[in-house]
Amino acid sequence: MSYPFQIKSLGQYHDAYKKSVEDPESYWASVAEYFQWRKTWDKVLEWNFKEPKIEWFRGAKLNITENCLDRHLADLGDKPAIIWEPNDPGDKIRVVTYKRLHKRVCQFAQVLKNNGVKKGDRVCIYMGMIPELAYAVLACARIGAIHSVIFGGFSAQSIADRLDDAKAEYIVTCDGAYRGSKDIPLKTVIDDALIGNKIIKRVIVYTRTRTPVSMIKGRDVWWEDEMEHAEAQIEKDDIVSFPAEEMDAEDPLFILYTSGSTGKPKGVVHTCAGYMVWTTYTFVNVFQYDPGQVHFCTADIGWVTGHSYILYGPLCAGATSLMFEGIPTWPDAGRLWEIVDKHKVNIIYTAPTAIRSLMGFGLDPLKGKDLSSLKTLGTVGEPINEEAWHWYDDHIGKRKCPIVDTWWQTETGGALISNLAGVTPAKPGWATLPIPGVQPVLVDENGKEVTEKDEHGLLKGNLCIKAPWPGIIRTTYGDHERCRTNYFATYENLYFTGDGAYKDENGFYRITGRVDDVLNVSGHRIGTAEVENAINMHAGVVESAVVGYPHEIKGQGLYAYVIYNRPHVDDELTRKDILATVTRIIGAIARPDKIQFVQGLPKTRSGKIMRRILRKIAEGETKNLGDTSTLLDPAVVDDIKNGRL
């Protein structure tokens, strides 16, 4: 068995691509036939990038969980939907069949209903990587509530900001989460986030670590009690049912917060039908998933990669998705490979940062690992350097597994530019060709298409997309204008990705990284303005500027220049204070790698910080700093150069 929309040869790719561009409506209508609809669409696509207003499958009615679960029950009911590998390799593995997953999702949907959650309500989910996280996400989708999953590494303050922005009234969390040797007290973080909060009506707490937690009467309830009560409500004579809410194609499915170039994260909104079609289509085609295979995406469900390629894409395709609670380096750097062997994983999908970090441990952790079950390898989140690509190819894929380099963003819902495993050609470091439906264009600062090649025969420019694909962002929650100015206003009639790219003579793309003030640290997006805001919260800090610099493992590291107004006797201690502040305001993921104390920052006469100069110094370039004549006080540059870390 395969999928009717699966592309199996280079010729088919070219045909599909041509059709998708020439007649997108009939192309996507035929792909959409694979899915289960309560009612089919009146119009496949309606759009303009001016407002923007984008509607896919207008008038259609569906529930994504009927596509993820119900329709698989007859054929795949006893097949594993989720294989769960715990943090501790000695703990019990859990295999959740489609039937079991359906039951748990129905049961938790009933819990949500019992607690007052209705269609359109926002539910914040802050949990570790356990099957209950999947149940919670899918249960929201089942009753039409909008989930907003927050990565377990974010601080109480970040959560409070997100709760406020989404006007969320419900939270699902755990007492704690295991990650490697750590036990993260999630409920305590939630309690801190809720100080002064008057909107939250209910917090549902799952027990994972047995960490002591404060349970507030009238607000906090135990997951286990609620589930027990709900079981009797959904199960009668061995038949499980909880009717899925009928959703409009364009009803919001979820909000996921991501960083931009301003200080405030934005809530990217995806809707039901287009996101479903896009994640399933790209999952099957990029990885060339064959039914029965085990797919292992190492991302956390707190990021979009986990949403699209642990949950929605694989489950809609009836796949077996492996979910891992721990981290690649614990208890040792052979953990991922041990998991591959243990569960006979066929597809592994991870970030270049993870590959680089594992490379650093040498080949010892690979001793005794077979890895022969692997068929396809994938990367996501950041550019992959050729050295890491070849290590992955030689030592993990043993040169027999195609590697897909998938370029995409939270805003795109799923992969946009990527080779299709074993079907279209790969090129180390290159994401290669656009997926059908995706029309990339490289433009200069004025939005004019770049046509002149550089000395290597490559086109170079800012990466934009000309027309909508089904998984495109629809709005930023509560602020549509922000969506327009962020993505659709830089260049007329184009979606601007914020990335720079090269294009070669074969039409292959190589994404070079962000051209805005967003950094990519270990495959996670962090806005420099956000980190600066956090540093500036520290009492002694007058001003700061954060830039990226090349980091061997993380891809980019954070370099902070800080003006500090107290005669700090102990630089090291002050650095620690600043790091503690950033951890409190955003979370540990945003902690700068380097903090340099400076007397002043290089500013133009109009007061704008010249980041170009700071970037160069952070990168180690101290000679060719370019034109510094427009600086208010060029002497600060020497001071900064001399104090470079």
Smallest distance from ligand PRX to CB 350, Å:
11
Does residue 112 contact residue 143 with C-beta atoms inside 8 Å? yes
Run of H or E including 548: strand 541-551
Measured from the CB atom, the residue of 80 and 302 that comes closer to ligand PRX is 302
Measured from the CB atom, the residue of 299 and 601 that comes closer to ligand PRX is 299
Measured from the CB atom, the residue of 318 and 548 that comes closer to ligand PRX is 548
Smallest distance from ligand PRX to CB 256, Å:
9
**What is the Cα–Cα distance from 42 to 62, expressed in whole angstroms?**
13
Does residue 410 contact residue 321 with C-beta atoms inside 8 Å? no
Smallest distance from ligand PRX to CB 111, Å:
31
Measured from the CB atom, the residue of 60 and 354 that comes closer to ligand PRX is 354
Smallest distance from ligand PRX to CB 421, Å:
14
Smallest distance from ligand PRX to CB 456, Å:
19
Smallest distance from ligand PRX to CB 140, Å:
21
Helix, strand, or coil (residue 238): coil
Does residue 198 contact residue 347 with C-beta atoms inside 8 Å? no
Measured from the CB atom, the residue of 357 and 497 that comes closer to ligand PRX is 497
Q: How many helices (H) and strands (E) does the chain have?
A: 20, 32
Smallest distance from ligand PRX to CB 500, Å:
9
**What is the Cα–Cα distance from 169 to 397, expressed in whole angstroms?**
46
Does residue 364 contact residue 406 with C-beta atoms inside 8 Å? no
Closest listed residue to residue 466, CA positions, set 437, 433, 432: 437
Measured from the CB atom, the residue of 159 and 286 that comes closer to ligand PRX is 286
Smallest distance from ligand PRX to CB 636, Å:
31
- Outline where DSSP puts E strands in 36-90: 43-48, 53-58, 61-62, 80-85
Measured from the CB atom, the residue of 380 and 459 that comes closer to ligand PRX is 380
Query: Which pairs from 112-116 meet CB under 8 Å and 24+ separation?
Result: 112/139, 112/140, 112/143, 112/145, 112/170, 113/143, 114/226, 114/229, 114/230, 114/233, 115/170, 115/201, 115/202, 115/204, 115/221, 115/226, 116/170, 116/201, 116/202
Residue nearest to ligand PRX (CB): 410
Measured from the CB atom, the residue of 206 and 407 that comes closer to ligand PRX is 407
Does residue 269 contact residue 401 with C-beta atoms inside 8 Å? no
Residues that bind ligand PRX (CB under 6 A): 258, 304-305, 380-383, 405-410, 431, 497-499, 511, 513-514, 520, 525
Measured from the CB atom, the residue of 291 and 513 that comes closer to ligand PRX is 513
**What is the Cα–Cα distance from 178 to 184, expressed in whole angstroms?**
6
Smallest distance from ligand PRX to CB 363, Å:
25
Site of tokens 């090269």: 502
Does residue 402 contact residue 376 with C-beta atoms inside 8 Å? yes
Smallest distance from ligand PRX to CB 388, Å:
12
Strand 376-380 and strand 347-350: the pairing is: parallel
Measured from the CB atom, the residue of 511 and 598 that comes closer to ligand PRX is 511
Does residue 609 contact residue 545 with C-beta atoms inside 8 Å? yes
